[in-house]
Every structure is written in C-alpha cells, then in structure tokens.
Amino acid sequence: MGLLVGLTFDIRSHKVPKGFPDDTWAEHDGRDTISTIVEAINSAGNKAIRIGSSRRLLSALSSLKCDIVFNIAEGISGRNRESEVPVLLDIAGIPYAGSDALTLSLSLDKIISKKIFMHHGIPTPAYFECVKGGRTVVPGGSGFPFIVKPRYEGSAKGIEPGSVVRDMPSLKKQVNKIIKRYGQPALVEEFIDGWEFTVGIIGNKDPVVLPVVQRHVEKETGLSSHIFGKACADKQGLAYRDLLDIGAPLEEKIKKLALEAFKGLECRDFARIDFRVDRKRQPHILEINPLPSLARDDYFSMVAELMGMTYERMINMMLGAALDRCGLR
C-alpha cells in the first residue's frame, strides 16, 4: 500500500488586484502543473491529496491525514512567505519534501543568500542596497552597468529591460520604481553581461547534480529568455546572442559551485541554482531556488527528457529524497 502525500501549492490567478504589479502571481503555479504533479505522485503507487495554500493548510491542519507533504507553496507577500507551510508542518509534526522554513527565507532574501555565498567563497556579483527614504549612492569601486531587482522576490519578478541601468538617472529611476511597486528595498547588483546557466540538484546525503542548461540571452538588453518568459515581458521581436560553447571544465565548475551553494544554505531534497558566466568564462552565482518551478515547460521536465527519464520519475526522485531523509521509504 502506498503513502498518502499531501500537496501544498498556490494557484496563479488571472486577476491582479488594483495597485499590485502585473507580475504579482508570477511565482504561483498553473492548474495544469498541479495536475501533472498529482499524476506523477500517483504513478508511483502513492495517493496525492490536494491541500492548497498555507491558509488552506492552516484550516485543515487539525484533521489532516497524510504521511508526508510535498510542498511547492510560494505564499503571498513578505520575505518569509515561502516559510509559512514548513512552519505549520513543523508545528504539527508532519514531515514534508523540500527545504525547511529557515532555508526558504534565507534563499528568498537575495542579500542574505549572497552573504552566505560570499562566506563560502562562491563568486557572486558585487551589490549594494537602496531603501525607502535613503540616498542612491554608488559605493567606491563599483561601476555601471548595474541590474536593479526587488530584494526578496523570485521568478524574475521586478526585472524588465529597463532593469539594466548604465547611468545615474536611470539607476535612481529604477530604484524608486522597485521600492514603490514592491514595497521593499532594491538590490543593485553588478550586471554580468555574458551568458546564463541553470542547474538542478536532487538528494541529501549524496546529492545528484543534474545537467547544466544554458538559457538564451537577448542581444540588446543582455537579459535571459527566462526574464521575458516569467515576468510578463514582451517577447516579440527579440534576437538572441549565440550560445556559449561551455565545455566540460566550465560545466564541472558550475556544478561544483552549485553543490557548495546547496550545502551552504542547507537545502534539502531539491533545488535549482542560477548562474551568469562572464566574458572571461568565470561563473557567478545569482541565486538559489529551493522552490523551483516544476512546470512541464521548465528546467526539471526538460532535464528529465535529456536524461532519458520521464517527468513522473523526476518528481518521484524528489519525493524519494524526502522519504529517505525522513525514514519513510
């Protein structure tokens, strides 16, 4: 007899509340993604139970009957939003697949995660922070171009062609836009005008580093196709630069740094790590995402096909890592 596997998630809405940014729901999943994950869990002989958001989990917690929860819930707002489901499950003593509350909060806050990368000697672009009511001052030793992002958002939220700034007026304008639109500090980061890569990891004691995948980079802005695909940006008329011939040494270096970041932030079960490679072929980590997209058109599904396995098997590798860690196999 299989296990009862609860599934926590947030569904993407087509209605954006007045005064909210257009990409408010960019990190939430479509109903088709939830259905495919349910099918994948069931395909291994287990039974998936749809729970939903942290609010729905809270209301169902006292009567919830499941052996483990597969968590992909993003939450709504604040830098601790991704931690809501893990905190509730920890209180109830229910095991779950994925990273714990602390790791999810640390990884969502780009500045805190960058400090951890730097502590572990993992190259990451230089940065500074701009806050509401503060002056926008470029530190000595830093120089344009920069890219301006919200401090704690994911899925390319807040990033658009105008996010790459090359002069002081553009910097101030973009910083003010981020602070006003997202109600949080702006992260101003050295812009690595090169190539972009992403790599996934599954496991715990002996994590498996999956193949490195290169994203197309748009010629004019230097931004990746991921930005235009995730952040509701216009994709018409885009031209992309030639892909970088990565080679085995650079691929292994990216994988090594990804694993160091995974362990440094104490991720569990699965995560995806994004990199930029500069013109000197040096990789720089951008961020780590312990709640990566599991959509059929995204990284993990693509890599499953590349590795000659099904999407269903890839999802069950993630669940299996959690079952092993929790002693539930």
For 38-96, how does the pLDDT look when each residue is reduced to its tens digit (9 = 90+)?
Answer: 999 999 999 999 999 999 999 999 999 999 999 999 998 899 999 999 999 999 999 99
Answer yes or no: is 176 within a domain. Answer: yes
Nearest of 67, 60, 58 to residue 6 by alpha carbon: 67
Q: Is residue 243 part of a domain?
A: yes
Mean pLDDT of the chain: 94
Q: What is the mean pLDDT of residues 88-115?
A: 97
Q: What share of the chain has pLDDT > 90, as a percent?
A: 86
Q: What is the SS3 assignment for 308?
A: coil
- Please report the pLDDT score of residue 238 as a whole number: 80
* 231, pLDDT greater than 60: no
In this predicted structure, what is the pLDDT of residue 203?
98
* Count: domains in the chain: 3
204: Cβ contacts below 8 Å, ≥ 6 apart: 268, 269, 321, 324, 325
59 and 118 fall within a common domain: no
236 pLDDT band, cuts 50/70/90, is low
> Which range (64-68, 195-199, 220-224, 272-276) has the least confidence?
220-224
CA distances from 217 to 2, 126, 148, 163, 300 (A): 44, 21, 17, 15, 20
Phi, psi at 246, each rounded to 5°: -70, -45
Domain finish residue from 141, 171, 187: 187
Looking at residue 41, what is its pLDDT?
Answer: 98
pLDDT above 70: residue 28: yes
Model pLDDT, residue 263: 98
Query: What pLDDT does 258 receive?
Result: 98
pLDDT in tens, 247-282: 999 999 999 999 999 999 999 999 999 999 999 999
User: Is 49 buried (19+), middle (13-18) or exposed (0-12) by CB count in 10 A?
Assistant: middle
DSSP result, 170-203:
HHHHHHHHHHHHHSSPEEEEE---SEEEEEEEEE
The answer on 228 and 261 residing in a single domain is yes
Asked whether the predicted pLDDT for residue 156 surpasses 60, the reply is yes
Same domain, 53 and 81: yes
User: Do both 182 and 200 map to the same domain?
Assistant: no
- Contact of 94 with 68, CB cutoff 8 Å: yes
Same-domain check for residues 115 and 226: yes
Confidence at residue 234, expressed as pLDDT on a 0 to 100 scale? 57
Examine the domain organization and report whether 89 and 118 are in the same domain. no
Are residues 202 and 118 part of one domain?
yes
Q: Residue 230 above 60 pLDDT?
A: no
For the stretch 294-310, pLDDT in tens is 999 999 999 999 999 99
- Residue 47: domain span: 4-98
pLDDT of amino acid 15: 84
Could you count the other beta carbons within 10 Å of the beta carbon of residue 327?
A: 7
- Range in 28-37, 163-172, 236-245 the model is least confident about: 236-245
